[in-house]
């Protein structure tokens, strides 16, 4: 269950309480669901009870007590706790984590197994890789870009990102504007006095299938080619279109302050965990219905990783619909940081023997590595297994 789905679940619980006469409040348009803060517990927490306390004319704790049973009866929720002044802390069924891992692994396995068969049959592989969808099926996005290296790189990434959502991108170059002649200047004899607004850099708002969309990200301040292909692409894709990219040697340094390094290192660590586990005689298989038992798992590091994985499809879809590769790049950083924090719980320590929990954690780490590799591939960046 993703945070978006859980937010809808919270709103449905409020609506049920209102329909049954337990609360007399207007149902809000949205409910904020976040990882629990200090003093909290569970996978997610919401302050909806505090939000409704004033319009309901009741103390937040009383509102939370009314909503708790409605939330507890939701499929996928195993427990709901009340903490602090009225926060609802939600514990999810860990079987959902198993389903998530199997979904990622299944899509990856089917993609590889059916790719050759699809090529032989003249059909594309099915099911789609994790995060891919048909949201933009049948849509053609026509991009008009200037002759600029950053615009070229952004357009190249968008071709793959939009295709991941079923759409297609056509790229054309804007003709260089001729320099105005003196007689063309505003206010000259026979010329109007109105001055047209210059094009402003940045990503457009909406795509259409018949009118070309001007894509004019802020150009790089200097030639980025000395960075090499991977660092060059990251330098031009990671900032938002309206931000000026930084072309510095820091992108080549292997340290935590370099987000490109963290993303590629996290992927390499996932592959290293697979190799190390094989040396210890076990593989990553989520075979148990409860793959992350509480005694062997630290929710502080597990929940952010699961959240980042569940939010990846929506991040990829937003990158496609808003024509913003930076959204995908930034989400990969979030996923990488969560995996790097989680990696230390995967392998047995000391004399500890590999267990079902270790196999499940390894499967979760491998799934994260698969998603990181797929995201980097969409950006046109290599994901090495050794780093």
| pLDDT tens sequence across 28-76 | 998 998 878 777 777 789 999 999 999 999 999 999 999 999 998 887 7
d(CA 224, CA 231): 9
Query: Does residue 127 have a cis bond before it (omega within 30 degrees)?
Result: yes
d(CA 232, CA 66): 54
d(CA 248, CA 234): 12
Is the distance from CB of 50 to CB of 79 less than 8 angstroms? no
Residue 126 has pLDDT above 80, yes or no: no
- pTM for this one? 0.71
d(CA 42, CA 193): 65
Give the angle 106-344-104 at the CA atoms, nearest 5°.
10
Residue 189 has pLDDT above 60, yes or no: no
**Which residues pair with residue 33 across a beta bridge?**
46
Kindly report, residue by residue over 350-379, the tens digit of the pLDDT: 888 888 878 888 999 999 999 999 999 999
Flag the least confident range among 14-28, 29-43, 104-118, 341-355. 104-118
Percentage of the chain beyond pLDDT 70 is 81
């Amino acid at each position: 269950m993703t945070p978006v789905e859980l937010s809808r679940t919270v709103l449905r619980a409020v609506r049920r309480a209102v329909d049954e006469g337990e609360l007399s409040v207007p149902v809000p348009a949205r409910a904020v669901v976040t990882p629990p803060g200090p003093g909290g517990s569970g996978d997610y927490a919401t302050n909806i009870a505090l939000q409704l306390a004033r319009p309901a004319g009741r103390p937040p704790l009383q509102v939370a007590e009314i909503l708790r049973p409605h939330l507890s009866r939701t499929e996928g929720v195993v427990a709901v706790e009340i903490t602090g002044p009225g926060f609802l802390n939600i514990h999810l069924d860990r079987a959902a984590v198993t389903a998530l891992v199997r979904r990622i692994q299944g899509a990856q396995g089917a993609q590889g197994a059916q790719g050759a068969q699809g090529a032989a049959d003249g059909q594309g592989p099915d099911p789609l890789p994790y995060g891919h969808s048909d949201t933009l099926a049948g849509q053609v996005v026509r991009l008009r870009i200037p002759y600029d290296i950053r615009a070229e790189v952004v357009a190249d990434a968008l071709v793959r990102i939009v295709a991941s959502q079923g759409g297609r991108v056509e790229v054309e170059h804007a003709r260089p504007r001729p320099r105005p002649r003196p007689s063309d200047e505003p206010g000259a004899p026979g010329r109007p006095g109105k001055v047209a607004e210059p094009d402003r850099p940045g990503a457009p708002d909406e795509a259409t299938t018949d009118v070309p969309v001007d894509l004019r990200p802020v150009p790089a301040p200097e030639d980025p080619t000395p960075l090499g292909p991977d660092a060059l692409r990251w330098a031009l894709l990671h900032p938002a279109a309206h931000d000026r990219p930084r072309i510095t040697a820091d992108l080549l340094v292997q340290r935590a302050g370099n987000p490109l390094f963290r993303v590629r290192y996290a992927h390499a660590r996932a592959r290293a965990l697979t190799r190390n586990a094989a040396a210890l005689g076990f593989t990553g298989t989520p075979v148990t219905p409860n793959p992350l038992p509480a005694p062997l798992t630290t929710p502080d590091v597990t929940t952010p990783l699961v959240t980042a994985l569940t939010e990846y499809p929506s991040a990829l879809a937003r990158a496609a619909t808003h024509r913003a590769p930076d959204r995908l790049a930034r989400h990969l950083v979030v996923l990488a940081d969560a995996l790097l924090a989680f990696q230390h719980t995967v392998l047995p320590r000391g004399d500890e023997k590999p267990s079902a929990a270790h196999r499940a954690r390894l499967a979760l780490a491998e799934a994260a590595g698969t998603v990181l590799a797929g995201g980097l591939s969409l950006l046109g960046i290599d994901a090495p297994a050794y780093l």
